């Protein structure tokens, strides 16, 4: 595979201090934590409205002073370690929980409108895997939307921050001193060269390697694949989280609507077709068990009863409560003809979050000098084998702020000007990129999903390897072509890591586990 994918020739260069690829909460918050003397350019692929952050319903987990009578950071740490099935980096988790309050206070100072109780205190709720009420929300079940919109509005007012839409990452440029910028394609498929000595990857996850996902269509693993091509280390690529409860009907773009874990935090019960509450005997936390356990329990129930879904029952709650606490879910379900005050919600597990990614330290640094990663595209070690609910947005904040601080302390060199032009390759000819992507998503869903075994994964890996070989020295001249390669490269890493881990742990569950 070529080091640089695009045969660009001479491309005009734009210089800046910091490049952030991605405009979700991780990218925006990191930019806002940089000193305003540092020039920062944020590049987004499909517009801010298409980031995964916008769809985050649940909330942010954090222990605050107002709640320390009932909770403390040690308990938050323990809940995270338990959910992570013993594979979390405890130092990273300690940083996460200890620095939570400072970052929540920073969000409040930036104008983020967290939900509050009638007495004015922040409203704290509970979700699966948490032993205490420590989840903050915006707009009931529209936390990601509320935070992203506010951060975006503030960023637009900062003179040192430039936000450019429709910029698709092709490659991370590197030189003798490390990161040197990025090559992107604009909305007209024209290459653009952005030069910077500090590059932050905040491109989100990899949802579209699977057939069913809560991620937007733009989640194709671009940042992770580009970082791998640049020489960055990856970590925990086998750990893919499937959310237990998504509405079984996809939208017109194929994205599945998430039914937040917060419903179970407010008393919703999972039931099978006979109305039985099947989580009661599976885990001490019952319906609030960690996500991997609930997802597998649902799959088994579906197979046992030969049904396409199970049901989430929150009819014990009054309509007035549901309309106020879950306005997004209430409205969307009503639009689909499901009155959640009277009807059970048909749900099933779908891909939701990627625990693996670009390996970073506690300051978001990768093994490549000047290259950083934040948010879902990074692997800080806080999630281990299974992410605890609502720790993802907290991770964006804590390590995004640390990333900004590290850049502020080390920004002392001009970007290296590198030559990245490749020799012209082979015309892709009759390669059907849509068919490759469709087959890949089916292959990964069937052979490397919630339940896995060596034979299935080996079949999938052979198919992916064969598909990658087709690319060889092919000239990739458009977004769809590069995305397809990225999906294949990320899938290859997921499969290889999954086959290498012979024992089940967390979200990685093998039906043929070796003893």
CA separation for the pair 246, 55 (Å, rounded): 13
Q: Tens digits of per-residue pLDDT, 67-78?
A: 666 778 999 999
Q: What is the CATH number of domain 245-350?
A: 3.90.700.10
**What rounded mean pLDDT belongs to the chain?**
91
Per-residue pLDDT at 305 exceeds 90: no
Residue 354 tokens, joined: 């990627």
Catalytic residues: 291
- Residue 207 pLDDT > 70: yes
**CA 320, CA 64: separation in Å to the nearest integer?**
28
For residue 36, count other CB atoms closer than 10 A to its CB: 11
As given in the structure block, the two tokens for residue 259 are: 């039914």
Which SS3 state, helix, strand or coil, does residue 227 take? helix
pLDDT at 515: 47
What's the token pair of residue 183?
């090559």
Fold of 433-500: Methane Monooxygenase Hydroxylase; Chain G, domain 1 (1.20.58)
Alpha-carbon gap, residue 423 to 3, rounded angstroms: 11
Higher pLDDT, 140 or 453: 453
Band (pLDDT 50/70/90 cuts) for residue 477 is confident
- DSSP assignment of 233-268: -EE-TT-EEEEEEEEEEE-TTSPEEE--THHHHTT-
Token output for 412:
């002392």
pTM across the whole model: 0.93
Residues 6+ apart with CB under 8 A from 143: 56, 57, 58, 59, 60, 136, 137, 393
State the pLDDT at residue 46.
81
pLDDT tens column, 480-503: 999 999 999 999 999 999 999 999
Q: How far is CA 228 from CA 34, 42, 77, 368, 398, in A?
A: 26, 21, 31, 11, 24
The number of angstroms, rounded, from the C-alpha of 264 to the middle of its chain's C-alpha atoms is 22
Structure confidence at residue 55 (pLDDT): 67
What is the pLDDT, as a whole number, of residue 485? 95
State whether residue 335 is helix, strand or coil.
helix
Quick one: 411 exposed, middle or buried, by C-beta within 10 A (0-12, 13-18, 19+)?
A: middle
Closest Cα to residue 58, out of 129, 151, 152? Answer: 129
Q: Tokens standing for 252?
A: 């017109």
Residue 423 pLDDT exceeds 60: no
Give the model's pLDDT for residue 7.
Answer: 60
**Would you kindly state where each structural domain of the chain is located, as residue ranges?**
13-191+217-239+355-410, 245-350, 433-500
HSE of 25 in the Cβ direction (CA atoms, 13 Å)?
28
Query: What CATH architecture applies to the domain 13-191+217-239+355-410?
Result: 3-Layer(bba) Sandwich (3.50)
């Amino acid at each position: 595979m070529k080091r640089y994918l695009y045969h660009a020739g001479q491309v005009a260069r734009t210089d800046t201090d910091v490049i952030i690829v991605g405009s979700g909460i991780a990218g925006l918050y990191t930019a806002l934590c940089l000193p305003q003397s540092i020039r920062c350019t944020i590049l987004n692929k499909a517009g801010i409205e298409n980031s995964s952050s916008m769809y985050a319903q649940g909330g942010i987990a954090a222990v605050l002073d107002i709640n320390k009578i009932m909770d403390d950071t040690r308990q938050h740490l323990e809940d995270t370690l338990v959910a992570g099935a013993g594979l979390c980096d405890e130092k990273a988790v300690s940083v996460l929980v200890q620095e939570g309050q400072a970052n929540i206070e920073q969000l409040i100072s930036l104008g983020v409108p967290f939900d509050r109780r009638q007495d004015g205190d922040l409203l704290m709720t509970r979700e699966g895997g948490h032993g205490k009420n420590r989840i903050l929300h915006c707009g009931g079940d529209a936390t990601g939307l509320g935070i992203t919109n506010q951060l975006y509005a503030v960023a637009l007012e900062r003179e040192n921050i430039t936000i450019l839409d429709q910029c698709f990452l092709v490659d991370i440029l590197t030189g003798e001193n490390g990161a040197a910028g990025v090559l992107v394609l604009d909305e007209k498929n024209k290459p653009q060269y952005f030069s910077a000595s500090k590059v932050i990857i905040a491109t989100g996850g990899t949802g579209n390697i699977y057939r069913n996902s809560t991620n937007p269509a733009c989640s194709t693993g671009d940042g992770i694949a580009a970082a791998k091509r640049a020489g960055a280390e990856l970590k925990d690529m086998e750990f893919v989280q499937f959310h237990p409860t998504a509405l079984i009907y996809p939208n017109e773009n194929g994205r599945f609507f998430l039914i937040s874990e917060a419903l179970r935090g407010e008393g919703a019960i999972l039931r099978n077709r006979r109305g039985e509450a099947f989580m009661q005997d599976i885990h001490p936390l019952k319906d609030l068990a960690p996500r991997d356990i609930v997802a597998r329990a649902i799959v088994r129930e579906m197979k046992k009863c030969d049904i396409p879904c199970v049901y989430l029952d929150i009819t014990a709650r009054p309509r007035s409560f549901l309309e106020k606490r879950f306005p997004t879910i209430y409205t969307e379900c009503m639009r689909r003809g499901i009155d959640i005050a009277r009807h059970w919600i048909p749900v099933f597990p779908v891909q939701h979050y990627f625990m693996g990614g670009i390996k970073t330290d506690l300051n978001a640094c990768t093994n490549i000098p000047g290259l950083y990663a934040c948010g879902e595209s990074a692997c800080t070690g806080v999630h281990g084998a299974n992410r605890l609910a609502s720790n993802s947005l907290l991770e964006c904040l804590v390590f995004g702020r640390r990333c900004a601080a590290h850049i502020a302390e080390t920004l002392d060199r001009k970007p290296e000007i590198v030559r990245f032009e490749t020799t012209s390759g082979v015309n892709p000819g009759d390669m059907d990129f849509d068919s490759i992507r469709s087959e890949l998503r089916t292959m990964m869903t069937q052979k490397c999903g919630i339940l896995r075994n060596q034979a299935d994964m080996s079949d999938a890996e052979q198919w992916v390897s064969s598909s990658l070989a087709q690319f060889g020295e092919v000239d990739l001249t458009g977004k769809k072509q590069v995305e397809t390669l990225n999906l294949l490269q990320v899938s290859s890493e997921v499969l290889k890591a999954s086959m290498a881990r012979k024992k089940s742990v967390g979200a990685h569950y093998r039906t043929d586990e070796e003893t």
